[in-house]
Amino acid sequence: MPVPVADLDEVALVRWGEEFGRALGAPAFVTLSGDLGAGKTTLVRAIAHAMGATQAVTSQSYALVSEYPSPRGPVIHVDLYRLRGPAELPQIGWDDILRAPATVLVEWPDRAEGFLPSGQVALRLEHVDGRPDLRRLTW
Ligand SMILES: Nc1ncnc2c1ncn2[C@@H]1O[C@H](COP(=O)(O)OP(=O)(O)OP(=O)(O)O)[C@@H](O)[C@H]1O
Ligand SMILES: [Mg+2]
């Protein structure tokens, strides 16, 4: 089966995230890979919004883990950018996150290589050469 891929502008990416969020069965574990500014938090925000979370999803500079209530259970946003490696996972309560009956959305999952659950949904975002308005989404 070919890997689904699409080049999307920001409006289309948000729309995709909202559709994905509506269809996502909670609990779920979703990883979002991609460079700085690739649109990972934008996508997290759209997914959380579609799940009915009313609190604004922010890109926090200090908190690695943020939890948002939603009618479909907690949405946990994890941004591992500042994690130096898997050895630091216990400090952020990684085991509790894995066990939580929640929808977990993880940016920079490569930082937790080897400690990710097997049933994860992996989303990837990339910049598109010469098109600063587009991102290539692979899912
Ligand atoms: N097609 C697009 N999809 C998403 N964002 C876009 C698009 N085109 C431009 N942008 C811009 O790119 C930026 C994406 O920022 P965002 O915080 O979502 O990225 P990120 O992958 O979470 O970055 P970081 O690794 O720093 O957390 C925003 O400023 C957004 O306006
Ligand atoms: Mg981000």
Lowest mean pLDDT among 7-16, 35-44, 51-60, 105-114: 51-60
pLDDT-derived band at 133, boundaries 50, 70, 90: very high
pLDDT tens, residue by residue, 71-94: 999 999 999 999 999 999 999 999
How far apart CA 136 and CA 9 sit, in angstroms, is: 9
The finding on whether 41 has its CB within 6 A of some atom of ligand 1 is yes
Q: Write the residue with the smallest CA distance to atom 3 of ligand 1.
A: 10
Do residues 112 and 34 make contact, with C-beta atoms less than 8 angstroms apart?
Answer: no
Question: Residues 90-116: pLDDT tens digits?
Answer: 999 999 999 999 999 999 999 999 999
Closest residue CA from atom 30 of ligand 1: 39
Residue nearest to atom 6 of ligand 1 (CA): 10
Number of the ligand 1 atom closest to the C-alpha atom of 135: 1
Tell how far the Cα of 67 is from the centroid of ligand 1, in angstroms: 21
Tokens at residue 126, please?
Answer: 């990339």
pTM for this predicted structure:
0.96
Q: Look at residue 24 and tell me whether its pLDDT is greater than 80.
A: yes
Question: Can you state the angle between helices 40-50 and 10-23, rounded to 10 degrees?
Answer: 40
The domains found in the chain, sorted by start residue, are: 5-82+90-100+119-126 (3.40.50.300)
CB of 82 shorter than 6 A to ligand 1: no
Alpha carbon of 41 to ligand 1 centroid (Å):
7
Contact, 44 vs 105, CB < 8 A? yes
Residue 34 near ligand 1, beta carbon < 6 Å = yes
Q: DSSP 3-state assignment of 68?
A: strand
The pLDDT value recorded for residue 117 is 95
Of all protein residues, the one whose alpha carbon is nearest to atom 31 of ligand 1 is 10
Give the mean model confidence (pLDDT) for residues 25-44.
96
